[in-house]
Amino acid sequence: MQALLEAGIPLAAVISNRPAARGLDIARSHGVATAVVDHREHPDRESFDRALAARIDTFQPDLVVLAGFMRILTPTFTRAFAGRLVNIHPSLLPAFAGLDTHRRALEAGVRIHGCTVHFVTEELDHGPVIAQAAVPVHEHDTEDELAARVLAQEHRILPAAVNWFLAGRLRVNGMRVSLVDENMTETALRVPETS
């Protein structure tokens, strides 16, 4: 969320399921509306997701970004926001879907790790890929060191992907996402150049 704010992307609101989430304070300090839909106040996942969707709808967003939202959403929720619901995941999907991605990457001995911005579908961490960024895995990396390199890339590609969406430059065909350039020709997606 901080990266989105720093990129100048207009946020309709920041909503959290945790009342003490740090992101709420950051959003308020930038004049962004905030809301809390506490999952502990709902008897099950379905009722929480209905309440969350209703609260999101009050802000009428063009896009819902799940940056840092660590709950599995129901199919009813993902269908309600289909095509305008994105997530950032700390791995090069489809590798290492789910949790503990950095530990799992180190245990698997991969040489390249990274992050993925993708459209959210009913299947966890398997929606159409919008953008990915890779980082090297060094021989003596710790989880924290690897996570820090991946996080730096997350902060680069999430704002880029959101800007592409808001500019109407993304085309989805099944599981393939194309980026339409200014001349309205489709090109292969690429991560912005490393500075």
The candidate with the shortest Cα–Cα distance to 158, out of 66, 95, 84, 79, is: 66
C-alpha span between 174 and 128 (Å, rounded) = 7
Active site residue 89: yes
- Beta-carbon count within 10 A of 156 CB: 20
Q: How far is the C-alpha of 144 from the C-alpha of 124, rounded, in Å?
A: 24
Catalytic residue among 30, 89, 102, 138, which?
89
Run of H or E residues at 141: none
Q: Give catalytic residues, as residue numbers.
A: 89
